[in-house]
Amino acid sequence: MSKQAKAVAGGDHFTRWLVIGMVVLVVVTGVIFSVISSSTKANESFAALKGYSLGQPVATTIDSAPGSGLVLNPGAPVKIDIWEDPQCPVCRTFETSVGAYVEDLVRAKKATVVFHVLSFLGPESIRSANALMCSADESQYLDFHKAMYVIQPALENSGFYSNANLIKIGDYIGLKSKRFTDCVTSGAKLDLVKTHADSMSIYKVTGTPTVFINGNLWQRKANGFDLNEFRSAVEAG
């Protein structure tokens, strides 16, 4: 092999490592950028809760007999069962479309609403479900539930739903009692969370959000969630 050929071969070797190095650099920089930007975005979402004021407390009872729902406003002519996972993005869409209407039904005592808090999307769903049930003890389920979906991050199980951040949500909306924070921190409702999760099979619920109106599965026709469609389904009973 001539001297020149050797030099070329050595040069190729150098180029290859240089290229590999550059690619690695790009990827590492990209990952760091991505991690920082998505966690900043999640934390900035708290800003959306500024100026939030708690609504009137609504007593919430635990219906232990048929599958342990959280019952709001029992005894109304229409009964709506809502099955949700706190981290489920489609539940957020559902909440955005019909959440205000459901809240209205409860506050105006027009319907009994039973929330089944599911937690199949991982550890952060379990933690969030626990916190939701703690808020029910404080009679502020509606508010905490709403706030939780307002700030739901795009990424599931990203570390956002820590107990500290769950307490922070409460803090922002004015749910600050020691009983609430203790309940979140100690995971006081974890057994109940499990009971809710287990009740899925009893009702043959396989996904979220699932809605029953007077015990009948609501089958929507629109692609998304249409408030008018939902309203007429509820009014038809």
- Residues making contact with another protein (CB under 8 A): 8, 15-16, 19-20, 22-23, 26-27, 29-31, 33-35, 37-38, 41-42, 89, 122, 153-158, 206-207
β-bridge partners, 114: 71, 81
Residue 198's contacts (CB-CB under 8 Å, 6 or more residues apart) are: none
Contacts 24+ apart (CB under 8 A), 214-223: 214/78, 214/79, 215/79, 215/81
Q: Which two tokens stand for residue 226?
A: 């249409």
Residue among 35 and 108 whose Cβ is closer to another protein:
35
Q: C-beta of 206: minimal distance to another protein in Å?
A: 8
Residue among 34 and 177 whose Cβ is closer to another protein:
34
Are the C-beta atoms of residues 187 and 180 closer than 8 Å to each other? no
Q: C-beta of 156: minimal distance to another protein in Å?
A: 6
Q: C-beta of 170: minimal distance to another protein in Å?
A: 24
Residue among 15 and 64 whose Cβ is closer to another protein:
15
Residue among 137 and 156 whose Cβ is closer to another protein:
156
**Helix, coil or strand: residue 199:** helix
Residue 226's contacts (CB-CB under 8 Å, 6 or more residues apart) are: 97, 220
Residue among 1 and 65 whose Cβ is closer to another protein:
1
Q: C-beta of 91: minimal distance to another protein in Å?
A: 12
Helix H or strand E encompassing 95: helix 89-107
Q: C-beta of 158: minimal distance to another protein in Å?
A: 7
Q: What is the 3-state secondary structure (H, E, C) of 21-87?
A: HHHHHHHHHHHHHHHHHHHHHHHHHHHHHCCCCCCCCCCEEEECCCCCEEEECCCCCEEEEEEECCC
Residue among 123 and 174 whose Cβ is closer to another protein:
123
Q: C-beta of 150: minimal distance to another protein in Å?
A: 16
Q: Which two tokens stand for residue 123?
A: 């550890």
